[in-house]
Structure 1
Amino acid sequence: MAKQESLRTSECPVARTLESIGERWCLMIIREAFDDVRRFSEFQKNLGLAKNILASRLKHLVELGLFEICPASDGSAYKEYILTERGRSVFPIVVAMRQWGERYMFKEGETHSVLLDNVNGEPLQPLEVYSLQGHKLEPADCYRQRVISGKKQE
């Protein structure tokens, strides 16, 4: 079998994102943080994850700049893992995965959770992709183009 190359150097943003945060425990930790989980022990309790794996994934997420480690908000000796702007920007990705899962991964009548907005207590509007002009886009309406430092490549 050929050795799989790291996706960290791929020119595909999807590949690089998967390589960085696509591992299931990374996404589950981020999901928990969106529910205001901040302490190692809370992540461990909620996820049932072995401490060594949790420590490794949290360290990785801190190194990527998705979390920062801060003193506990209650003044105790504990540390807390706080989402950075980069970490909070993962929210639409998690919502898209959640909405896809709600739609396709549960049988009729099967219990599951839904995400509700805090103001109205209603489910979120399904995420869709729009052009800058406001037109809804489907996969066939888009194409990829190579760029260097934000500029089109000739």
Structure 2
Amino acid sequence: MIRRLNDIDRIFGTMDFFKNQMNRYLEDFESGRGNLSQGGVWPPTNFYDDGDHILVYSELPGVNEDEINIKLHNNLLTIKGERRENTPEGYAILRQERNVAPFSRSFTLPVEIDPEKTSASLKNGILTVKLVKVQAVKPKKIVVQAA
């Protein structure tokens, strides 16, 4: 009887180990802490909020403006593009560590954004997307006057 319990403990211990590993991988994926060699996400992206705007910074070294497609639909921001091969003419690749492939990241935004006021720029391999929050209609106090 004790041997059976030990076998069951060992099986559940292994299952717990795998469950904890999967939870850690999912947390890394959702938070963007992983890297490409560990199956992480690319491009790394940060968000900042100043109350009226959300700034989005994505690291896109080696990607040109015309290779990036940004869409905002129903508070879902999608950044797509492709880092293409840039081997100099007449040269062969000896070693290639940079990922050459299409990429796509989608983010659900926590607030409503005005798509008409959204702008984006690319400088030194950093994509900056400026999102303007829709200002909530503030309640207006109505004064009751005597008739």
TM range (shorter): under 0.3
Structure of greater Rg: 2
- The structure in which a higher percent of residues are strand is 2
In the superposition, the TM-score normalised over structure 1's length comes to: 0.23
In the superposition, the TM-score normalised over structure 2's length comes to: 0.24
Of structures 1 and 2, the one scoring higher in RCO (CA 8 A, sep 6+) is: 2
- The structure in which a higher percent of residues are helix is 1
